[in-house]
Structure 1
Amino acid sequence: MMPGDDIDPDIRRFVREVNAEYDRLTNGGETIAERRAIAELVRQPWRSGGPQMAETIEIPAEDAGAGLRIYRPVKDRPLNALIYLHGGGWTSFSLDTHDRLMREYAAQSGAAVIGVDYSLSPEVRFPLALEEIGGAVGWLEAHGERYGIAMANAMIGGDSAGANLALAAAMRMRDAGRAPFGGLILNYGAFDERLRDSHSRYGGPEYMLTADEMDWFWRNYRGDDRAPHPIATPLNGNFADLPPAFFCVAQCDILADENRETASRMMQAGAKVELQIYEGATHSFLEAMSISALARKAIEDAARWMQSIWQRR
C-alpha cells in the first residue's frame, strides 16, 4: 500500500487539491503574513456554500476582548451556545476559513455558534490567546442575553489548535472555581508535543498535517519553553471535574494517538466521553464537507451529541 491509499477517496481528493494549490502559490520563502494570506486563498473554495443563517452578528475586539462572530440559525428566541475556536496551528486561519463549519454546526444543532478571533502566534505566545478567550467568555456571560444567547449551558469546542485551546480554557475555568462549560467538542486536537506512533505513520503530506509543520506550530505557540505543561499541552494536565466531551478523531492523522489518550484520560477521571474515530479521515477533514459524506457525518454526529446533552439539562 502506498502512502495515502488508506484515505477515504473524497478526503484524498480534498487533501490533494489543497496541497496542489499550496504548491502553486508558495516557493518556501514566504513571510508569516504571506503564508496566512495564502492559507485564506487556499481554503476559500472549501468554506463556500452551506446553510444560510437567520442572523450573523460581528462583535469588535474593543468590546469583547477578542473579535466575535455570532451565527444564529433562527431569530426571536434564546438559543444554546457553542463557542468555537478555529484551528491553524495557533499561527494561521481565521473566522473566515471556518465560516462554513460554524454555520453547519449552528444549522444542525439549532444553537448559536460564536467564533472567537483570538490573536495568532508567533506574534503572541501562550497563554495570551487563552486569556483573550477567557475574556470573551466573560463578555458573553455578561452580554449574551442581549443577542439571544443562553450561556448557562454553553459549550466550547474547536479543531486542531482550537481543540487544544478549548480543553485548556475548560481546565482554566475549573481551576478558577468556575463551572467549566456544559460540554466540549474536540476535533482532532493537538494535546501534547511528545511523538507517538501516529506521528511516524501519518506524518507525511499525503495526510494533510506533517510532522515538520506540527513542530513549527508548537514552536510558534510556545517559543523555547517546550517542556510538558498542564495547560499548554493539556494531555499533561488535571482531568478531574471536566464537562462531557465529544471527540472527533481522524484515523489517518498525525494526532490520532494523542486524541485517543486524551479521551481515555478524561474517561478515567470520570467525564462522560463520546469517542468517534472516522476511518479513512485525515487531519482537517471536516473542511471537506462539501464533497465528503464522511465529513458531513462527523458534523451531524457532533450536532446530535450537543442536542442530547442540552436535552438532559
Structure 2
Amino acid sequence: MAGKDAARAVTPSCPVGAGRRALATRLAADHGGVVHRRELARYGVGRNAIRDEIAAGRWIRAGRHTVAIDAVLSREAWHWWAVWESGAGARLDGASALESAGMTGFTARTIEVTLPARNRHHPLEGVRQHRVDEPPPIWGAGIPRIALEPATIRAAQWAVSDRQAALLVCLPVQQRLILPARLQLTWRGIRRSPRRRFLNDVIADVTDGAHSLGELDFTRGTRRYGLPRPTHQAVRSGPGGRVYLDISWDEVGLVVEIDGGQHALALNPVEDALRQNERVAEGERVLRIPVIGFRIAQERFMQQVRRTYDAVARP
C-alpha cells in the first residue's frame, strides 16, 4: 500500500475539462501552439484524454508525437513539429536554424533538419532531412538547433542559387545574430563546399567589407568591358581632410565607390543601387556599387559603368 501511495504522490491525476485545456495551452505556449505527448503525460494528460480532446475537435493530431492546441500552426510550431516527428536526435539546421533564432527577411520553402544516421527517421512532407554520422552539436536553449555560424554556411551551401546563398550569409550578420569574425573562423574550418569559390568571396565581403574586393577583381571587369585601367585609392581633398576614392578615371571625372559589407549587408540595397545608378548613368559622375552586388550582379553594374564612362567622355 505504501508503494501505491508513493506512486500517487509522483503521478499527477488527469485534469479534466477546462482545467485540462488550460494546462495544454500553457504547455503549448512554449512551442508556438503545439505540445509533445510526452509533456502532456508528465502532467497526467494521457492517451485517452488526448484522444477525447481530438475527437471533440478541440485539439488536432499533428503527428505521432505532436498535438496542436491551436488550429493554425505558427512557423515556430512547424519547427517543433519537424524536430519531434523526424526522429530521435533531430535538430534544426541551415536556414531553419537561423529562422528559429530570429532571422527575418527569408522564409525557407522546406524545413532543414539534421539527425544521426544511425537513428530511426520518419520522412515528412515539407522537411528535408540530412542524416549524417556525426551531426553538429545542439546549440543554445529552446528548440534543438545547431550553432548559427555553421548554420549560416550550410544554408548558403544548400541555397537554390548564388543570389540566395549571398542573402543567407548577409542577413544573420546584418541582424547581429552572428559575429563576422566567428563566421570567418567557422568558414576556415570547412573542408568541402559546392560553392567554395563564391562563398570565399561573399564571406570575405561581408566580414571585411570593401577591402575584400581586390584591385584585380574590378580591373578584370573594366578590361572585359573595354574600359581603360582605373586608378585605385585616388586622393582628393574634402571638408574633413583627405578623401580616398575607391576607383576613379581622373581623365573624365568618373568615380566608382564600393560600398563594403558594413554599408549594405542585405540584398535589398543592391536593387536600390541598381535603380539609382540608372539615373546617375544619364549624366551624373558618381556610381556606387555594393560589394555584394558586384558578386551577384557584376554584369549589370559593369554595363552601367561602361555607359556612364561613355557619357562623360563624350565631347
TM-score (norm 1): 0.26
Q: Which has the higher contact order (CA 8 A, sep 6+)?
A: 1
The normalised TM-score by structure 2 is 0.26
Structure showing greater radius of gyration is 2
